Amino acid sequence: MSEFIQNIIAERLGGKMFGKDTKIYKFEKIKRAKRAALEANPGAELIDMGVGEPDDMADASIVNVLKVEAEKKENRFYSDNGIQEFKDAAAEYMKKRFGVDIDPITEVNHSIGSKPALAMIPFCLINPGDYALMTVPGYPVTGTITKYLGGEVYNMPLLKENNFLPDLHAVPEEVAKKAKILYINYPNNPTGAIAPVSFFEKVVAFAKKYNIAVIHDAAYIELTYGEKQESFLSVPGAKEVGIEIHSLSKSFNMTGWRMAFVCGNEVLVKAFATVKDNNDSGQFIPIQKAAAYALRNPQIISGITTKYQRRLKRVADILRKNGFFVNEPKGTFYLYFEIPKGTKSGRKFQNAEEFCDFLIREKLISSVPWDDAGHFLRFTVTFEAKDLQDEERILNEIEKRLSSEEYIF
């Protein structure tokens, strides 16, 4: 068989070596360990605290709008850069929830989820040699595409001692001068940290000093417990330097629906819309209408956060009882905590990948390891439970499995 396709794959994907890399990546290792654990324990229940998706479906009222609108002939067309009704709802939402003024004509555009928006932003800003400042651990899409375009990535570690905020002063001057993008994400995946307004003020000053566009990924902005996460755009000067990306995936249990919006700086929103127009032809109009309904009914969110808060508290308690140092997060549905050095039974863990592997194989608990800035594990509390009683059963099972070992820190 001709090998020519293999030989013409672009260098950004590895060229001729594409797909032949023998390194096994983190998520593949997790998948393999899960398979092996289930094979070794047939019929056993694997508790999945690795997935980053809500367990429930969208509220019935949102689903109903989709049903009604999908029946209408006039909603069948390409929507290109989106319907005005959704933009209006997004602008109203920004005002009502965060006190931010957004022009619904020029300062907002829908996106088929926030992931594609994060992937398209580098096309608006990056020339070969330009830098994107990314946070690690973190959601890497913008950095990956920056590299595809011949740009460079500078990783800023999120450290516990800095409340998981990047230290902007630690960015070398020559990198800052060549940077075009500063990516931040609060509430933060995976650390669960939220960002104070004072940090956003520093970000605006830094962006202005070095002419860097700020991309604030606000995918988890509605999932907070107690303290609110303010919008980056609520800070004076923010709209001059950046945009914020909001997603309906987590706030409204709409991950598979693919709806998000980009808002803020008019020129950057326009550049995004131009790139997007050459990538896709817009989300299905009934989905945009259902999303507009959701944004106009944010009371739906409280049922979702109540559940996560209850579960986060319980799992954090279980971890603390077992000697782990963990605080309940201020936002997201993640618990992020340092791994133990080993167990009293003689196991030793060099890094989070090893501890994650141990928990899957020995305790049938799946999670996600992060070894970018220290050695941490991420537990997600979006595991599926049939009802409250089933949730309690799963939580008790988590407790039983974790407590069957003594950890050394």
Ligand X SMILES: Cc1ncc(COP(=O)(O)O)c(C=O)c1O
* Site residues, ligand X (CB under 6 A): 52, 113-115, 139, 185, 189, 217, 219, 247, 249, 255, 260
d(C-alpha 76, C-alpha 306), whole Å: 37
Least Cβ distance, residue 52 to ligand X (angstroms):
4
**Please, what is the minimum distance in Å from the beta carbon of residue 221 to ligand X?**
11
- The CA distance from 218 to 223, in Å, is 10
**In the complex with ligand X, which residue's Cβ is closer, 155 or 255?**
255
Measured from the CB of residue 130, what is the shortest distance to ligand X in angstroms? 22
Q: Give the SS3 label for residue 370.
A: strand
Distance of alpha carbon 134 from alpha carbon 182, whole angstroms: 6
Q: Nearer Cβ to ligand X, position 373 or 395? A: 373
Q: Which residues touch 338 (CB under 8 Å, ≥6 apart)?
A: 160, 324, 325, 374, 375, 376, 409
Q: Which is nearer to ligand X, 194 or 395 (CB)?
A: 194
Q: Work out the number of other CB atoms within 10 angstroms of the CB of residue 71.
A: 9
* Burial class (CB within 10 angstroms; exposed 0-12, middle 13-18, buried 19+) of 94: buried
Closer residue to ligand X, CB minimum distance, 247 or 253: 247
Element (H, E) at 313: helix 301-321
- Residue 119 CB, shortest distance to ligand X, in Å, is 10
Q: Residue 388 CB, nearest distance to ligand X (Å)?
A: 26
Task: Tell me which residue of 382, 255, 359, 346 sits closest to 29, measured CA to CA.
Answer: 359
- Pick 139 or 225: Cβ nearer ligand X: 139
- Report the SS3 class of residue 212: coil
Looking at beta carbons only, is 124 or 260 nearer to ligand X? Answer: 260
Least Å distance, CB 113 to ligand X, is 3
CB atoms within 10 A of CB 157: 16
